[in-house]
Structure 1
Amino acid sequence: MYHELIDVLIVEDENVLAQLYAELINKHPRLRLAGMASSLAEARVLLNRTSSRLILLDNFLPDGKGITLISDPLIIRANCSVIFITAASDMDTCSQAIRNGAFDYILKPVSWKRLNQSLARFVQFTEQQQTWKIVDQHNVDSLYQLQAKNYRKDNSSKGIEESTLARVQKLFEHQATRCFSVDEVMNETGLSKTTTRRYLEHCVEIGFLTVECKYGKIGHPRRIYRRVHVTA
């Protein structure tokens, strides 16, 4: 199963920052840089020319404030989400961004780990929207939680060990087209069920795996994991 790349537009007038954002996007297996704009006017042109699904948006731009772009009909028609990245720490700007549906709000100076986590959450959010054609309350809660997720500082604070993570990821790399349930990964790796589930969900969070819910005739839906593949 192949997944289309998610096009990302960068709107930032500080060239060094814009290049760093671009590098982060280019390293992600599910994201693709759609363009870079240094003003609101350039951003609107690129929104018309591209099929961007996400914007990394600065607030203080040469021709106005980025916050005004969030409620622009152009973004709404394009079904484009926004990660707002700004030095604006006033509550009015933050509240306006939240009211207008910003996926995330990140303050400068930017934490690169924080931004990378936000991008991973957006990928997961997009995957789940495509997978769930009909939702129940659990699905809805999961989508909302992706936008309100608490962050941990690093892998170790989540109980993620690099050697164990590599063991789980190696299983999917060697059988890239196969889908695995929690029990199947548990049997293959020898990990406990709780540990297996934790590592699988971490892999989904960082964009290494995607997850689907399989519904049987009875009982709860099973979560099925597969390696993320991208089109060229």
Structure 2
Amino acid sequence: MQHELIDVLIVEDENELAQLHAELISKHPRLRLVGIAGSLAEAQTQLAEKQPQLVLLDNYLPDGKGITLINNPLVARANCSVIFITAASDMDTCSQAIRNGAFDYILKPVSWKRLSQSLERFVQFNEQQRVWKIVDQQNVDSLYQLQAKNYRQDGGSKGIEENTLARVQKLFNDQPAYCFSVDEVVSETGLSKTTARRYLEHGVDNGFLSVEMQYGKIGHPRRMYKRSAA
């Protein structure tokens, strides 16, 4: 059976993080990236033009807070769901996101696996809404469970090859105090950028690596990876 693609808009002003999100979306057969917005103004324009079914929404944007977009009429008109991705750990922001119907709320630094699971649950949630025209209590319970599902604490090792993982781990074990950028890992290991990111995020998910945000004088902060303290 042919499935319709789910259009996704990324609202994120950190370019490196936006590209990480874009890679996850591109890997999913049911999701289609329709745009990346780096500000509230851009987001409103793209919401009106693209009418996505899902928005990955950052809170701290150059021209305001993403939380103000969550109850914008543009979101309601497009029948659009929101996965909130933010460094905002205060309860007021979290409560407001939940009250306004955010599908999920993910704190930065973002776990690749955590976001992957959220996207997969949204795809299932969307599919069940499409298939079920009339619901009984079991159907309703199933939809709520998808939105609040417990996360599997597996190793997230799908697509991880042992020799490549050992090469990446050796780099960090040899220099445990150094913070590596993705580009430095690419240079040292010879891996592609996409592959390097996958192994780095795998290391973060398993506690081998930690993420630090490096804020330069110009441009957006970069994700830096360091060997976690033993």
Question: Counterpart in 2 of 1:145?
Answer: 145
- Superposed CA RMSD in Å reads 1.8
Question: Counterpart in 1 of 2:81?
Answer: 81
For 1:103-147, what per-residue CA distance to the aligned partner results, in whole angstroms no more than 9, with x for missing partners?
Answer: 000000001000000000000000000110110000000001111
| 3-state SS, counterpart of residue 75 of structure 1 | helix
- Unaligned ranges ≥5, structure 2: 159-230
Q: How many residues align?
A: 159
The one-letter code matched in structure 2 to 1:4 is: E
Question: In structure 2, what is the Cα distance between the partners aligned to 1:50 and 1:135?
Answer: 30
Give 1:17 shift.
0.3
| 1:64-213 superposed matches below 5 A | 64-154=64-154
For 1:45-97, what per-residue CA distance to the aligned partner results, in whole angstroms no more than 9, with x for missing partners?
Answer: 00111130000000000000000000111100100000000000000000000
Question: In structure 2, what is the Cα distance between the partners aligned to 1:100 and 1:82?
Answer: 9
| 1:21-60 superposed matches below 5 A | 21-60=21-60
Question: In structure 2, what is the Cα distance between the partners aligned to 1:36 and 1:43?
Answer: 8
| 3-state SS, counterpart of residue 153 of structure 2 | coil
The one-letter code matched in structure 2 to 1:94 is: C
Asked if 1:2 is matched to 2:16, the reply is no
| 1:12-23 superposed matches below 5 A | 12-23=12-23
The one-letter code matched in structure 2 to 1:3 is: H
The one-letter code matched in structure 2 to 1:21 is: H
Give 1:155 shift.
6.2
% identical equivalent positions: 80
Of structures 1 and 2, the one scoring higher in RCO (CA 8 A, sep 6+) is: 1
| 3-state SS, counterpart of residue 56 of structure 2 | strand
The one-letter code matched in structure 2 to 1:152 is: R
TM-score by length of 2: 0.67
The runs of 4+ residues in structure 1 deviating greater than 4 Å are none
